[in-house]
Amino acid sequence: MSGTDTVVKAVPRPSEEGSECYNAAPSEGKGRGMLELGVKFLISYCIGSIMGSMLMGALKGGVDIRTMGSGNAGGTNALRTQGVAFALGVVIIDVGKGVIGAGVVPTLSLPLVAEDPAVPRELLVYLCAAASVIGHVWPIWHRFRGGKGAATLVGTIAVLAPILLAPMLSIWALALILSGYVGLATMTAAIAAPIYVAITRLPQDQGLFYYTLGFALYMLYTHRSNIQRMRDGSETRNQNLMIFSRSR
């Protein structure tokens, strides 16, 4: 060795350099994916928050059915308090929100929000569908006082699995005819949906099974007041629809 100082420069190993480049890209992609997921979830929620009963009420001069009947903003209370035409308009709007949330919002090309292939499209569709139902129950535009989500849920099912509509509506109609309780019919149809999917679509459609199972439990939660009124004997019962009852 001579007296000249020797400077040894550390050179990163190829594996270290590669790991730095590898780590940077997924992190950026993950951020874009979360942005797309978050923005589209929020859009679906805001669309779900547009209440059919409030729109119809505005057209009718400021009617707010949340101050009438059961106090619910859904189609059943609309029918009881405002009649068939009003209720039909409410149902069409509320079902349409579910269709838009599940079928349109996930496919939107948004400015400044890139579509990320790292986000599973199926997951995006299910979350946007769920957001539209959540928006209906807790609408940001109406002080978080909404309906119970059944009509909007039907709208999402019309997009996610149209084949489910016939059995769900048949079970709903049968339960309504036998019991006269709209709430009980809705809960029965909601519970039947994941059972039907489990029997006919598993193990292929696991996403659909978990979606319908989650919302079956969700419908039980949002109809808890109906359950209590049925236990108390104070729930409104439509005798005219009970075609097999002795009184008819």
**Inside any domain, residue 36:** yes
Q: Are residues 79 and 167 in the same domain?
A: no
On whether residue 172 sits in a domain, the answer given is yes
- Do residues 118 and 177 both lie within one domain? no
Quickly tell me which residue has 């319908």 as its tokens.
212
pLDDT at residue 140, as a whole number = 94
pLDDT at 20: 43
Q: Look at residues 112, 143, 160 and tell me which one is the last residue of a structural domain.
A: 160
pLDDT above 70 as % of the chain? 85
Domain count, the chain: 2
Residue 34 sits in the same domain as residue 152 = yes
Both 145 and 36 in one domain: the answer is: yes
pLDDT of residue 246: 52
- Residues near 151 by Cβ (< 8 Å), separated by ≥ 6? 52, 74, 75, 90, 91, 94, 95, 98, 136
Tell whether 151 and 169 lie within a shared domain.
Answer: no
In this prediction, residue 17 carries a pLDDT of: 44
Would residue 21 count as lying in a domain? no
Domain range for 46: 29-160
- Residues 135, 124: contact at Cβ < 8 Å? no
Domain boundary among 139, 160, 181: 160
Q: What is the pLDDT of residue 2?
A: 47
Residue ranges in the chain modelled with pLDDT below 50: 1-29, 248
* 78 domain-assigned: yes
- CA 242, CA 173: separation in Å to the nearest integer? 10
Predicted confidence at residue 62, as pLDDT, reads 87
Q: Both 149 and 204 in a single domain?
A: no
**116 and 156 fall within a common domain:** yes
The domain boundary residue, chosen from 160, 192, 221:
160
Q: What's the pLDDT at 235? A: 87
- Residues 156 and 39 reside in one and the same domain: yes
Give the predicted TM-score (pTM) of the model: 0.80
Give pLDDT, residue 245. Answer: 65
Position 32 scores a pLDDT of 52
Q: At what angle do helices 150-160 and 206-222 cross, to 10 degrees?
A: 170
| Contact call for residues 127 and 48 (beta carbons, < 8 A) | no
